[in-house]
């Protein structure tokens, strides 16, 4: 009973306080002006503190919002800068490649051949110099069997397998390579074949033919789609075949196949 009585008194006090405050602030006909002025005077310091605190909180929220906006803007700018940097790098690479291609084209017999130029993008992982990957393929007009040359008409191999945007080139040093060749100084004819990536051997040269160390060996143009006169290399050493019926010549290529960069396929 006392507890219920105490609760009822509290409720009445709260209700009375609310009504008084409402009358003071609503102030009908200015009746409560003195009380209202007294209340505002007493509460002024607290209002100032609450107002300044609210301003600081608002400024803090704005500051952190501004920082977050700056962070997002920086992330956006960083992405744009990375994109532009990659694009510029790609353009510089393309420009460099075009310069290299033009320089190499100036060294080629363009009046004789229709050429497809490009770059080497892969090679035999075993390092045997048997084959490389060319960055031009079927969509560029490359076809199987096309001879592949570098500057000054030096033959390095033939196109073996063709894909949409690339192709595989069998090098002259590969075990599958075999072309008709001739000693340009003496006219001795034979077959230049690859030695498992180790070098080039010109064999099937009759004993009556003359071979000299230092002579240049070129393609003979016989029995294949490879034009005559493409340089294969120079004779380093001459020896007889195992059956003693023919001569053999070890040929040193004029270019290092592992260092190939730009090549041209002959249509």
Rounded-to-integer distance, Cα 120 and Cα 255, Å: 14
Check residue 267 and give its pLDDT.
Answer: 85
Cβ 155 vs Cβ 167: under 8 Å: no
- 229 has a pLDDT exceeding 70: yes
Output the pTM of the full model: 0.60
Handedness of CA 117, 123, 129, 131 (dihedral sign): negative
- Please state the CATH superfamily assignment of the domain spanning residues 111-267 in this structure: Rod shape-determining protein MreC, domain 1 (2.40.10.340)
Rg of the Cα atoms in the chain? 45
Mean pLDDT of 62-89: 65
Q: In this predicted model, which residue has the larger pLDDT, 199 or 242? A: 199
Distances (CA, A) of 128 to 87, 124, 141, 164, 174: 36, 6, 28, 26, 8
Report the percent of the chain where pLDDT is more than 70.
Answer: 62
Phi, psi (degrees; rounded to nearest 5) at 245: -90, -25
User: Could you identify the residue written with the tokens 């084959």?
Assistant: 131
Check residue 54 and give its pLDDT.
Answer: 61
Rounded-to-integer distance, Cα 191 and Cα 177, Å: 10
Q: Select the highest-mean-pLDDT range: 32-36, 54-58, 103-107, 172-176.
A: 172-176
User: Could you identify the residue written with the tokens 């005077």?
Assistant: 41
Residues 167-189 as b/e (b if ≥16 CB within 10 A, e otherwise) read bbbbbbbbeebbbbbbbeeeebb
What sections of the chain are H helices per DSSP? Answer: 2-26, 33-105
Q: In this predicted model, which residue has the larger pLDDT, 246 or 84? A: 246
Cβ 208 vs Cβ 260: under 8 Å: no
Nearest CA-CA partner of 94 in 63, 127, 61, 118: 118
Please provide the average confidence, as pLDDT, over all residues in the chain: 76
Mean pLDDT of 102-119: 67
2-28 pLDDT tens trace: 555 556 667 766 766 676 655 555 555
> Which tokens go with 24?
């003071």
65-78 pLDDT tens trace: 667 777 777 777 66
> Which tokens go with 167?
């192709």
> Which tokens go with 164?
């949409």
Report the percent of the chain where pLDDT is more than 90.
Answer: 30
Within 10 angstroms of residue 9's Cβ, the number of other Cβ atoms is 10
Check residue 232 and give its pLDDT.
Answer: 92
Check residue 183 and give its pLDDT.
Answer: 92
Q: Could you give the 3-state DSSP secondary structure of residue 262?
A: strand
Q: In this predicted model, which residue has the larger pLDDT, 73 or 30? A: 73
Rounded-to-integer distance, Cα 24 and Cα 2, Å: 33
- 107 has a pLDDT exceeding 50: no
Distances (CA, A) of 22 to 33, 49, 216, 238: 13, 23, 115, 120
List all residues 6 or more positions away from 10 whose beta carbon is below 8 Å from its beta carbon.
none
- Please give the DSSP secondary-structure letter assigned to residue 190: E
Check residue 198 and give its pLDDT.
Answer: 76
């Amino acid at each position: 009973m006392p507890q219920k009585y105490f609760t009822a008194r509290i409720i009445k006090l709260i209700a009375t306080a609310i009504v008084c405050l409402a009358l003071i602030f609503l102030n009908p006909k200015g009746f409560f002006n003195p009380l209202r002025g007294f209340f505002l005077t007493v509460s002024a310091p607290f209002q100032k503190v609450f107002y300044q605190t609210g301003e600081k909180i608002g400024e803090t929220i704005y500051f952190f919002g501004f920082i977050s906006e700056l962070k997002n803007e920086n992330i956006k700018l960083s992405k744009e800068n990375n994109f532009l940097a990659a694009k510029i790098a790609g353009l510089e690479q393309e420009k460099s490649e075009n310069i290299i291609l033009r320089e190499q084209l100036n060294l080629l017999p363009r009046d004789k051949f229709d050429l497809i130029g490009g770059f080497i993008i892969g090679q035999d992982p075993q390092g045997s110099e048997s084959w490389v990957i060319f960055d031009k393929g079927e969509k560029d007009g490359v076809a199987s069997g096309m001879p592949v040359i570098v500057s000054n008409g030096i033959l390095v191999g033939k196109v073996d397998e063709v894909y949409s945007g690339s192709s595989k080139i069998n090098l002259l040093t590969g075990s599958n390579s075999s072309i008709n060749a001739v000693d340009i100084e003496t006219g001795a004819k034979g077959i230049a074949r690859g030695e498992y990536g180790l070098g080039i051997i010109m064999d099937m040269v009759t004993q009556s033919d003359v071979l000299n160390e230092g002579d240049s060996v070129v393609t003979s143009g016989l029995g294949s789609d490879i034009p005559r006169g493409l340089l294969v290399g120079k004779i380093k050493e001459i020896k007889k075949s195992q059956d003693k019926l023919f001569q053999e010549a070890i040929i040193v290529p004029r270019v290092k196949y592992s260092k190939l960069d730009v090549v041209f396929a002959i249509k």
